[in-house]
């Protein structure tokens, strides 16, 4: 066994040792595109590429393959695309007229106002920037000249998420609310200018199904339009409003025709949430049938995607919150009478309400840990106040569905608990559903740790979807608080969203739990492809004194074993002279009083590091990280 060392990482301080027992005290995938450079890595041999491709595709559902082939044909074949464009236009006429019903609009607008309230001064400052074509996209400031460039290639290729956010138009409700508060018509005129320019520059084209006419984008954009229209009532010109209704019906018809069955996951859920909301505003002869089918599909999809413990199947706190918010909008429209003509509509909405109630309870579990929110899988830093507001608003629409300990282990595998001033979240489950691991990270058996209201050990989360070294690092095992063997990740990650090899077996259980301590156990076989078929097992003990982690690797052969700890950026690691390797009988017993290390590990050596929180000395917290190995 070798490779023991300590190092600092750019994305957070990383403690790296061989076979570490950490004991801080007092502390697809989006999908497979079969083209060179995307499905294939030119640095690998054809056999390696073929194997990786097979290990990815074999987990897809038949419906994903069929809809992907359909999408490729429609976007690349001009004749087929034109035929389908004609079909969508005919369907849109059967959905018109569009009723921008004020009662329903008010319900959507008031829900979003409660969830995303901006103070008037702050909102007006943002509105002024938007009038100058100054946008914040994917966390970056963008300034355009006279008109918004909806199809700039540099934005699409270099920062794809920025291009999608431009198309979502989630800045439009801000303009509309600013107008409603200030009665300054310049904000309403800017809203009309942006929407009018989008309709002119983005006619229906099947070639744009991945971008401006992406079903995910449409489901987001149309709800932003609806939310805005409540605040802008009485300001739109008749001709513009007629064009708006026509475009609304056309996009709704397109969304109904092309939901993202190829991607599944949060994309498909958002498609049907958006379609359910939009269907309540169309009144043509095909509108009742559209509402009926959409609610039936949505209730079934939500029931499948929400796990036993209430977590969304992709196991990202950020996407979980977004999915809950989307379902709440459908329930709000239903409560305002948007689906009165739907057969069995009451039972379908009640099914959605129960599903969302489980999601609300899981959100409460996430909020039970103090300070910053958990950051597993594709999640950035979440605003705790925003998440608490979502939970509070949810209570108006939902019944709380209790989650049992058994459901916690059978669902996402996220185990959350507190002992004294300590709190932790342990990830004992899979990365997500096998057919859609696009937002999954190789973080099996990772954890996060809090002391009082401050995070001590943090997951690295995610800050980019752009393919490249940065995206690869955030998804890798090294970016999480868990074990890596022989330099391999616990899943075979490639491109920005794809996963080949992955664990086939996961076990997680709650060995004991009380207000004073908790013992969680988990294992996975993500490294069983290596010689000797090693299996990683972890026992996580949370107590009043801190946390003790015992990693066991069963199998045969000689392997390089690395275990990573990522200290929160607010934690300072203090060098300790001549204390890297010590005899536990002389030193460790004093430091680890209460954890009975002698009983846990009768014969070992130890590496110690000291940590403390940054800031005024009188308010700082400090403790130890002790690594033990035979």
pLDDT digits (tens, 9 = 90+) for 308-341: 999 999 999 999 999 999 999 999 999 999 999 8
DSSP string, 305-366: HB-TTS-BTT--HHHHHHHHHHHHHHHHHHHTTTTTTSTTHHHHHHHHHHHHHHHHHHHHHH
- What pLDDT sits at residue 140? 82
pLDDT for position 48 = 72
Ranges 121-125, 141-145, 253-257, 484-488: which has the least confidence: 121-125
Q: Give the pLDDT band of residue 603 (cuts 50, 70, 90).
A: low
Mean pLDDT of the 356-368 span: 91
pTM here?
Answer: 0.87
Indicate the pLDDT class of residue 599, thresholds 50, 70 and 90: very low
Instruction: Provide mean pLDDT across the span 414-438.
Output: 91
- Report CA Rg, the chain: 26
Give which of 552, 546, 536, 521 is closest to 626, Cα–Cα.
Answer: 546
Average pLDDT over residues 92-114: 91
Measured CA to CA in angstroms, residue 547 lies from 217, 416, 452, 626 at distances of 43, 13, 14, 11
Which comes out higher in pLDDT, residue 369 or 359? 359
Q: Which of 5-19, 458-472, 598-612 has the lowest mean pLDDT?
A: 5-19
**Residue 576: per-residue pLDDT:** 65
In the chain the first and final C-alpha atoms are separated, in Å, by 10
Tokens read off for 335: 């409560």
Q: How confident is the model at residue 146 (pLDDT cuts 50, 70, 90)?
A: confident
Residue 200: its pLDDT value, please? Answer: 94
Q: What is the pLDDT of residues 59-74, one digit of tens each?
A: 999 999 999 999 999 8
Closest CA to 306 of 373, 353, 346: 353
Q: Is the pLDDT of residue 24 over 70?
A: no
- DSSP structural state of residue 487: T
| Interatomic CA distance for residues 551 and 520, integer angstroms | 12
CA distances from 425 to 225, 301, 494 (A): 38, 27, 27
**pLDDT-above-70 percentage for the chain:** 86
Residue 595 pLDDT > 70, yes or no? no
pLDDT of residue 604: 62
Residue 45, classed as helix, strand or coil, is coil
Q: What confidence score (pLDDT) does residue 251 get?
A: 97
Query: Given the structure tokens 């057969």, which residue do they identify?
Result: 343
Q: What is the pLDDT of residue 586?
A: 43
Q: CB–CB of 480/459 below 8 Å? A: yes
Please give the pLDDT value at position 512. Answer: 81
Give Cα separations from 18 to 177, 255, 599 (angstroms): 56, 52, 21
pLDDT of residue 570: 86
pLDDT single digits (tens) 384-393: 999 999 999 9
Mean pLDDT, the chain, integer:
84
**Distance between CA atoms of residues 142 and 137, nearest Å:** 7
* Rounded-to-integer distance, Cα 51 and Cα 48, Å: 5
Q: Residue 121: which pLDDT band, with cuts at 50, 70 and 90?
A: low
On the question of pLDDT at 548 being above 60, the answer is yes
User: What is the DSSP code string of 52-92?
Assistant: HHHHHHTTS-HHHHHHHHHHHHHHH-HHHHHHHHHHHHHHH
Quickly state the pLDDT bin for 479 (edges 50, 70, 90): very high
Percent of the chain scored above 90 by pLDDT? 52
Note the pLDDT of residue 616.
66
| Rounded Cα gap, residues 432 and 498, in angstroms | 12
Torsion sign across C-alpha atoms 253, 254, 255, 258 = positive
């Amino acid at each position: 066994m070798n490779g023991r060392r300590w190092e600092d990482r750019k994305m957070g301080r990383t403690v790296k040792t061989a076979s570490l027992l950490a004991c801080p005290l007092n502390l697809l995938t989006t999908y497979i595109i079969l083209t060179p450079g995307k499905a294939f890595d030119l640095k690998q041999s054809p056999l390696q590429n073929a194997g990786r491709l097979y290990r990815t595709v074999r987990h897809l559902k038949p419906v994903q393959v069929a809809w992907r082939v359909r999408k490729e044909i429609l976007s690349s074949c001009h004749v087929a695309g034109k035929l389908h464009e004609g079909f969508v236009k005919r369907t849109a006429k059967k959905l018109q007229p569009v009723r921008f019903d004020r009662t329903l609009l008010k319900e959507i607008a008031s829900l979003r106002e409660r969830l995303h309230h901006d103070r008037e001064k702050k909102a007006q400052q943002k509105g002024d920037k938007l009038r100058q074509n100054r946008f914040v996209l994917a966390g970056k400031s963008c300034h355009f000249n006279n008109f918004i460039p909806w199809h700039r290639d540099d934005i699409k290729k270099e920062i794809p998420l920025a291009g999608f956010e431009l198309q979502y138009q989630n800045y439009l409700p801000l303009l509309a609310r600013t107008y409603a508060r200030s009665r300054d018509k310049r904000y309403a005129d800017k809203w009309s200018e942006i929407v009018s320019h989008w309709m002119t520059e983005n006619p229906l084209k099947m070639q744009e199904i991945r971008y401006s006419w992406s079903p995910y984008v449409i489901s987001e954009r149309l709800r932003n339009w609806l939310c805005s229209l409540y605040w802008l009532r009485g300001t739109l010109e008749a001709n513009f409003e007629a064009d708006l209704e026509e475009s609304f019906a056309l996009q709704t018809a397109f969304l109904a025709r092309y939901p993202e069955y190829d991607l599944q996951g949060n994309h498909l859920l958002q498609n049907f949430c958006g379609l359910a909301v939009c269907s309540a505003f169309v009144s043509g002869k095909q509108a009742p049938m559209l509402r009926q089918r959409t609610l039936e599909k949505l209730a079934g999809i939500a029931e499948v995607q929400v796990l036993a413990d209430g977590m969304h199947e992709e196991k990202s706190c950020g996407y979980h919150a977004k999915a809950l918010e989307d379902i709440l909008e459908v329930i709000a429209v239903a409560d305002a009478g948007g689906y009165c003509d739907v057969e069995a509509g009451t039972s379908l909405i009640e099914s959605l309400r129960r599903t969302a109630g489980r999601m609300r309870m899981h959100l409460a579990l996430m909020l039970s840990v103090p300070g910053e929110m958990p950051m597993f899988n594709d999640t950035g830093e979440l605003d705790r106040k925003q998440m608490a507001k979502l939970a509070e608003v949810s209570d108006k629409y939902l019944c709380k569905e209790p989650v049992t300990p058994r459901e916690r282990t059978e669902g996402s595998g996220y185990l959350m608990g507190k002992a004294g001033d300590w709190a932790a979240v342990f990830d004992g489950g899979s990365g997500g559903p096998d057919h859609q691991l696009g937002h999954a990270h190789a973080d099996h058996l990772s954890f996060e740790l809090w002391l009082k209201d401050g995070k001590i050990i943090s997951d690295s989360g995610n800050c980019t979807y752009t393919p490249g070294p940065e995206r690869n690092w955030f998804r890798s095992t090294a970016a999480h608080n868990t074990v890596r063997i022989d330099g391999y990740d616990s899943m075979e990650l490639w491109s920005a969203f794809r996963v080949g090899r992955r664990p086939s077996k996961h076990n997680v259980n709650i060995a004991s739990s009380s207000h004073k301590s908790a013992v969680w156990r988990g294992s996975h076989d993500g490294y069983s492809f290596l010689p000797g078929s090693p299996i990683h097992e972890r026992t996580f003990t949370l107590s009043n004194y801190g946390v003790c982690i015992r990693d066991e690797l069963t199998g045969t052969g000689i392997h390089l074993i690395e275990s990573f700890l990522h200290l929160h950026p607010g934690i300072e690691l203090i060098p300790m002279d001549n204390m890297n390797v010590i005899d536990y009988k002389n030193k460790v017993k004093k430091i680890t009083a209460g954890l009975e290390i002698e009983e846990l590990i009768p014969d070992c050596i130890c590496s110690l590091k000291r940590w403390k929180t940054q800031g005024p000395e009188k308010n700082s917290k400090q403790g130890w990280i002790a690594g033990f190995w035979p």
